[in-house]
Amino acid sequence: MEGFFKHGRGFPSFKNRSNFRSFQYKPGDVKLDGNKIYLPSIGWMRFYNSRPIPQGFQIRTVTLRKKADGWYTSILIKDDSVPDYPTPKEVNTIVGLDMGLTKLVHCSDGSDFDNPRPSTSKKEKRTLKIRQRRLSRKNIGSANRKFEAQKLARLHKKHADKRSAYQWFVANKIVNKADAISVEDLNIKGMKAKCKPKPDDVKQGRFLKNGQSAKRGLNRSISDASWGTLIEKIQYAAAKSGKSFFKVDPKNTSRTCSKCGVVDALSRFGEKFVCTSCGHEAHADKQAAGNIKTRAVQQNGLVIKKLKKVRRDSVKPKQLILFETPTVESTTGKRKQHRARNSFPRCAWEPANSIEFMGY
């Protein structure tokens, strides 16, 4: 009301209870006891305690959210005694990551991760289209419309759960690859921005085609890949494992040659990269991942330690059984058997008695 009368922001509208899908409690209002939680004005309730709170952490704000399949609680915890570890300048290995759509992640070591497309695959797009069409044909305000809206919400949550589970799998795999991880500092919101309108000079009030209809499919694929949440999960997993995490400027990472350093937009043809200067050929996205790795080393002044290589012709140590101590007595019999076996030439077959075998 104040915004309408004093600032003229628009007419006030009635609020529906469906608009409020979450609420929050202040620190100190909520109590926990095993798998029970005390919520003010509601009382003690049972809940699924997915992760126990470590000792020494304080419970701060508690947020309750309503989703398609029930209510969820998010508990913010804090511990001031946890120190901030400094970022090391010397690392053994570092891996660069390039986000994509054909493959979800391309790594600088040559590996990649598939993009499952939980909501933009052919099958899921068809299922989503059917559910949305059924919802649109129901009468507004009817019980059938609410039922169809619930089914549609559960489908969207199913896609989100699949995406989140796969991203945690990818994040843990990537963190186990190296001691440091580098990614691009992407402006995803700007990548999904609408194309600028092109006014028609001939017809006043009309606009020319600007490619927005084709870009709409690209925006959906970017949203389905969810690069932002994937980068957050990789950063969280790296901090939990004590690994270093770096973000670099993404400018010209896919147009720069990793051999000679020449930047040319004509060097890239889709997923193929051919340098116009030195003729270097590589996969465009893996080439970009290598440039991201190099840029992270240069911008942060990292020093990569050289590991000692082991020669292939070196003698392999003998594999012993657990708690076994080799002695002279235990190896004497084996040496005699080895000499007796090599004293006669080997043949393809050897009869037990040559006289009986020949029939004499």
pLDDT tens for the chain, residues 1 to 360 = 677 777 667 777 777 777 788 999 999 899 998 889 999 999 999 998 888 888 888 899 999 999 998 899 999 998 887 677 677 888 889 999 999 999 999 999 989 999 999 999 999 999 999 999 999 999 998 999 999 999 999 999 999 999 999 999 999 999 999 999 999 999 999 999 988 888 888 888 888 888 888 899 999 999 999 999 999 999 999 998 889 999 999 998 888 888 888 888 888 888 888 988 888 888 899 989 999 999 999 988 888 887 666 666 665 655 655 555 556 555 666 666 666 665 545 544 444 444 343 443
**Any idea which residue has 């070591």 for tokens?**
109
Which pLDDT value is given to residue 211? 87
- Selection from 178, 177, 187, 181 nearest residue 300 by Cα: 181
**Any idea which residue has 């511990």 for tokens?**
79
Q: Angle 227-241/143-175 helices, nearest 10 degrees?
A: 40
224 has catalytic annotation: no
Which pLDDT value is given to residue 313? 63
Contact predicate 157/67, CB 8 Å: yes
For the record, the structure tokens of 289 come out as 């991942």
Go through the chain and tell me how many residues it has: 360
The pair phi, psi for residue 97, each rounded to 5°, is -120, 135
- Selection from 275, 279, 249, 253 nearest residue 262 by Cα: 275
> How would you label 320-343 residue by residue, b for 16+ Cβ within 10 Å and e otherwise?
eeeeeeeeeeeeeeeeeeeeeeee
Please tell me the pTM assigned to this model.
Answer: 0.77
- The identity of residue 72, as a single letter, is Y
Which of 124, 179, 224, 285 does the annotation list as catalytic? Answer: 285
DSSP one-letter code for 138: S
Q: Where are the domains of the chain?
A: 2-78, 90-115+175-304
Which of 112, 124, 148, 184 does the annotation list as catalytic? Answer: 184
Which pLDDT value is given to residue 360? 38
98 has catalytic annotation: yes
Which of 2, 98, 109, 232 does the annotation list as catalytic? Answer: 98
For the record, the structure tokens of 172 come out as 């843990």
**What are 272's strand-pairing partners?**
269, 283
184 has catalytic annotation: yes
In angstroms, the CA 133 to CA 130 distance is: 5
In angstroms, the CA 340 to CA 96 distance is: 57
SS3 222: helix
CB neighbour list of residue 175: distance below 8 Å, 6 or more residues apart: 181, 234, 237, 238, 241, 243
